[in-house]
Amino acid sequence: MPKLSQFSFPKDRLSGRELIVVAALALILIFLMPPLLPGFRLDLLHRYLALAIVALGIDLIWGFTGLLSLGHGIFFALGGYAIAMHLKLQVPATASSSLPDFMMLYGVTELPWFWYPFYSFAFAVAAVVLIPAVLAALLGYLVFRNRIRGVYFSILTQAAIIVFFNFFNGQQKLFNGTNGLTDFQTLLGFPVRDAQTQYWFYVLTVIFLALAYLLCRWLTMGRFGRLLVAIRDDEARVRFSGYNPTSYKVLVFAISAALAGIGGAFFTLRTGIISPRAMDIAFSIEMVIWVAVGGRASLIGAVLGALLVNFARSLLSEQFADIWLFFQGALFLIVVLALPRGIVGWLRTEAPNLIAKLLGRPQPLATYPELEFDPEVQYEREVLEQEGK
């Protein structure tokens, strides 16, 4: 079972320096990267930044709360479908029918009732966030109130993703089945595939990633964040202390799903397609690998892991297309066996000792870690300092 000291604690207050760093990185991504990167690499960066938003949600539910979800592909795909349904309803005036093109192929003569609200852009944007969040809240409430956790929760999320995958895959008339929704034309009158439009989608992705980071940072610092960690480490003690872990777990699961929906929407706008493949089990497991590589309970690690793993996959698959999956499996094994805290966790804990050892400097002595967080020990230490002992 993880201990409090195994993962870093966020500070109780968001410092001005951290805000400046986040803003500076966002400005670099917006203004420096587009002219520096070739179009293909910028396209990849845009996709992976959208996936980084999903990784933040995974870190929130798994890294901080200890709930391993292997079904976040559902929420990712629902966000993508929500914005894609609005895009498919932007039928050109010169078209022979006002229905999306795939519906005519299957003989549909009238738009299904639940498609009508998606004519509204505002409704589609709200649906990107609310549909995944509400679904996660309902699913989470049914699961968590029965105190289902651990591997059983992971199995349930996998069962859920199989159900949703088969549903969307089999609905040719409603969602174009396995082909998914694609061939988008315009959004708010702007051509979706135009380079300038795609640039603004990229800018929005960067901004939403920064906002998602700040939201997660705000949630994980202070009492709420410590309660999430306490639920992860010892839920029974939290319940004994008078808290109801169910409500907190439902809330954080819903927020995590909403972030996945936002990431799915931006990913769909960039790739131009959303299909049931986004609900593939392997894709949901990949999301967990991103966070494991970057570092659990580290928001920076989640973003870094999503970018590193996906760029590594792109670069290695270009050279070794047939054996990329072996690299991915080896990467996960290395992280589990050699870097259980991920890259950021290693940099924070083991790297300073390694550097001190290489430089011949004395290494800090390891003490029992729980003492550093024991309020009684801290109180006694303060009293002794005041007494001058």
Give the pLDDT of residue 5.
Answer: 45
What is the C-alpha to C-alpha distance for residues 159 and 156, in angstroms, rounded to an integer? Answer: 5
pLDDT at residue 386 greater than cutoff 80: no
What is the C-alpha to C-alpha distance for residues 322 and 316, in angstroms, rounded to an integer? Answer: 10
Q: What percentage of residues in the chain have a pLDDT greater than 70? A: 92
Give the pLDDT of residue 373.
Answer: 62
Give the pLDDT of residue 252.
Answer: 95
Q: Position of tokens 């954080």?
A: 252
What is the C-alpha to C-alpha distance for residues 271 and 157, in angstroms, rounded to an integer? Answer: 26
pLDDT at residue 308 greater than cutoff 50: yes
What is the C-alpha to C-alpha distance for residues 387 and 389, in angstroms, rounded to an integer? Answer: 6
3-state SS class at 15: coil
Task: Output the DSSP codes for 228-245.
Answer: HHHHHH-HHHHHHTT--H
120 versus 150: the higher-pLDDT residue is 120
Contact 64, 230 (CB under 8 A): no
What does the mean pLDDT of the chain come to? 87
Give the pLDDT of residue 150.
Answer: 85
Q: Which amino acid is at 231?
A: I
Helices (H), the chain: 16-27, 33-36, 39-58, 73-88, 101-105, 121-144, 151-169, 172-175, 195-220, 222-233, 235-240, 245-271, 281-294, 299-319, 324-338, 342-359, 375-387
Give the pLDDT of residue 146.
Answer: 86
Max CA pair span of the chain: 88
Domain positions in the chain are 16-307, 344-388
Q: Position of tokens 């995958």?
A: 165
Instruction: Quick: pLDDT tens for 195-224.
Output: 999 999 999 999 999 999 999 999 998 888
What is the C-alpha to C-alpha distance for residues 50 and 287, in angstroms, rounded to an integer? Answer: 12
Instruction: Quick: pLDDT tens for 85-114.
Output: 999 999 887 877 888 888 888 888 899 999
- Which stretch of 60-64, 72-76, 177-181, 351-355 has the lowest confidence by average pLDDT? 351-355
Q: How confident is the model at residue 338 (pLDDT cuts 50, 70, 90)?
A: confident
56 versus 365: the higher-pLDDT residue is 56
Contact 72, 284 (CB under 8 A): yes
Cβ neighbour number for residue 188 with a 10 Å cutoff: 9
Q: What is the 3-state secondary structure (H, E, C) of 85-139?
A: HHHHCCCCCCCCCCCCHHHHHCCCCCCCHHHHHHHCHHHHHHHHHHHHHHHHHHH
Give the pLDDT of residue 94.
Answer: 80
As given in the structure block, the two tokens for residue 112 are 């299904």
What is the C-alpha to C-alpha distance for residues 236 and 47, in angstroms, rounded to an integer? Answer: 40
Q: How confident is the model at residue 318 (pLDDT cuts 50, 70, 90)?
A: confident
Query: What Rg do the C-alpha atoms of the chain give, in angstroms?
Result: 23
Contact 67, 147 (CB under 8 A): no
pLDDT at residue 10 greater than cutoff 60: no
Give the pLDDT of residue 78.
Answer: 96
Give the pLDDT of residue 83.
Answer: 95
Contact 212, 53 (CB under 8 A): yes
Q: How confident is the model at residue 82 (pLDDT cuts 50, 70, 90)?
A: very high
Q: How confident is the model at residue 11 (pLDDT cuts 50, 70, 90)?
A: low
pLDDT at residue 129 greater than cutoff 80: yes
Instruction: Quick: pLDDT tens for 368-382.
Output: 555 666 666 776 777
Give the pLDDT of residue 367.
Answer: 57
Give the pLDDT of residue 92.
Answer: 82
Instruction: Quick: pLDDT tens for 256-307.
Output: 999 999 999 999 999 999 999 999 898 999 999 899 998 888 899 999 999 9
As given in the structure block, the two tokens for residue 214 are 């700040």
Q: What percentage of residues in the chain have a pLDDT greater than 90? A: 54
Task: Output the DSSP codes for 280-301.
Answer: -HHHHHHHHHHHHHH-TT-HHH
- Which stretch of 12-21, 213-222, 323-332, 339-348 has the lowest confidence by average pLDDT? 323-332
Give the pLDDT of residue 347.
Answer: 85
Q: What is the mean pLDDT of residues 354-374?
A: 66
Q: How confident is the model at residue 2 (pLDDT cuts 50, 70, 90)?
A: very low
